[in-house]
Amino acid sequence: MKTVRINDRDVSVIGCGCMRIAGFDEQQTERYIRTALDAGISFFDHADIYGGGHCEELFGTFLKKHPEYRGKMFLQSKCGIRKGFFDFSCEHIIKSVEGILERLQTDHLDSLLLHRPDVLMETDEVARAFAQLKSSGKVLSFGVSNMNRFQMELLEEGSGEKLFADQLQMSVVHTPLIDAGLNVDMGNEAAIMRDAGTLEYLRKQDKILQVWSPLQIGYFEGTFLNSDRYEDLNRKLEELAEKYGCDKDAVAYAWLLRLPLKVQVVLGTANTEHILSAVRAAQIVLDRKDWYDLYLSAGNRLP
């Protein structure tokens, strides 16, 4: 398994997003976790809102029964989303982490991400929360999700804490992070800069891009795999799956991992067969032409 370095640890570039285990029982959860670990996946991504906290509770039940596995995991969770608003207050961050640790039945998180930008964020509030959590050993590193480069810079300057990652939505059919960089000085829709050059910023600052929804069309439109809307893309995925000796989903993940910066792909699946298929992506390096062919077959255009 290919890895990235976080907190002096080698962490898998393929990670399990645990949102979809909410409906599992204990046996299914154990099979899910063991399958991932046996396949070389060490990175598990949670959020306090997933299943209303139940996903973390299920995971914590496993850890209580099998504490010997905790050291093999890089455990991450997210906080900041509340019903109807976002909250980066010191009080809420601290309270959220206490709840996360209790549900996961662990004494620390390897990383905590602030889930969505809080327009009312006061950086001194976040600084106090980060300092308390870090000094107590309850959180080892901090990052963000769905933020642009200027929001990250503002938070770093105000908190004094270096952010190691930004978790953002991307797939071969959801490419606003890429499009504007390809269409500089053009007058078309793709040229609109929607993220302030965040991809380039992450690369320049040696931060990690954590990709969520790597097979999704949008927020609620489902996957592009085998979709009639993306016949050309699926034909190209099938062609490249045969070339690289893997399944189509692995090619789609490899397309993301081919980006020239540190990338972790957060799987949205809880299907153990799909997890095993995804691991193959870490061994694939797409040819440059294959990468662009996939981008174009998804309906994107080059200037």
Q: Report the number of distinct structural domains present in the chain.
A: 1
In a domain, 247, yes or no: yes
Rounded distance between C-alpha atoms, residue 269 and residue 255, angstroms:
18
- The fraction of the chain above a pLDDT of 90, given in percent, is 95
Mean pLDDT of 207-233: 93
Is 80 exceeded by the pLDDT of residue 220?
Answer: no
Tell me what pLDDT residue 148 has: 97
Please state whether the predicted TM-score (pTM) of the whole model is above 0.85.
yes
Tell me what pLDDT residue 221 has: 80
In a domain, 3, yes or no: no
Instruction: List, for residues 142-189, the tens digit of each pLDDT value.
Output: 999 999 999 999 999 999 999 999 999 999 999 999 999 999 999 999
Is 80 exceeded by the pLDDT of residue 268?
Answer: yes
Q: Is 219 or 76 the better-scoring residue by pLDDT?
A: 76
Position 226 confidence tier, pLDDT thresholds 50, 70, 90 = very high
> Which of 275, 296, 287, 303 is closest to 39 using CA atoms?
275
Task: Provide the 8-state DSSP code for 137.
Answer: T
> Which of 184, 169, 98, 82 is closest to 133 using CA atoms?
98
CATH number (domain holding residue 92): 3.20.20.100
In a domain, 98, yes or no: yes
Distances, alpha carbon 162 to alpha carbons 12, 73, 123, 131, 136, in Å? 21, 22, 13, 12, 18
Tell me what pLDDT residue 284 has: 95
In a domain, 302, yes or no: no
Phi, psi of 235 (to 5 degrees): -65, -40
In a domain, 2, yes or no: no
Tell me what pLDDT residue 197 has: 94
In a domain, 303, yes or no: no
Domain of residue 136, residue span: 8-297
Residues recognised as catalytic: 50
- Tell me which of 34-48, 181-195, 247-261 is least confident: 181-195
Is 90 exceeded by the pLDDT of residue 218?
Answer: no
In a domain, 285, yes or no: yes
